[in-house]
């Protein structure tokens, strides 16, 4: 039987990912979901959707990927 580490006993970090492009959103979300210490929610980069997602997901971290022309 494996011993549990302190990291495994902690609840996951709730992360909200918002990106300006669909591909960036999918890549960031997919990469973070591979790590068990993260619970990931994603949404398009629109202010009203981000605020709504922040309220419902109770995210601890907001990751924004903004590309400007």
- Identify the CATH number of the domain in which residue 22 sits: 3.40.50.2300
Question: Could you tell me if residue 2 is inside a domain?
Answer: no
pLDDT digits (tens, 9 = 90+) for 14-69: 999 998 888 888 999 999 999 999 999 988 888 888 888 888 888 999 998 877 76
Q: CA-to-CA distance for 51 and 69, rounded, in angstroms?
A: 24
Query: Given this model, what pLDDT does residue 5 score?
Result: 46
7 in a structural domain:
no
pLDDT at 7: 60
- Residue 20: domain span: 13-65
Confidence (pLDDT) at 4: 46
Instruction: Establish if 33 belongs to a structural domain.
Output: yes
1 domain-assigned: no
pLDDT value at position 21? 85
- Within a 10 A sphere around the Cβ of 62, how many other Cβ atoms? 13
Residue 3 lies in a domain: no
d(CA 51, CA 46): 9
Q: Higher confidence at residue 40 or residue 1? A: 40
Domain count, the chain: 1
């Amino acid at each position: 039987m494996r011993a549990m580490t302190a990291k495994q006993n902690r609840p996951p970090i709730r992360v909200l990912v918002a990106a300006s492009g669909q591909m960036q959103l999918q890549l960031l979300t997919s990469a973070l979901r591979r790590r068990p210490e993260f619970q990931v929610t994603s949404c398009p980069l629109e202010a009203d959707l981000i605020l709504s997602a922040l309220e419902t997901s109770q995210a601890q971290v907001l990751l924004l990927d903004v590309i400007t022309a």
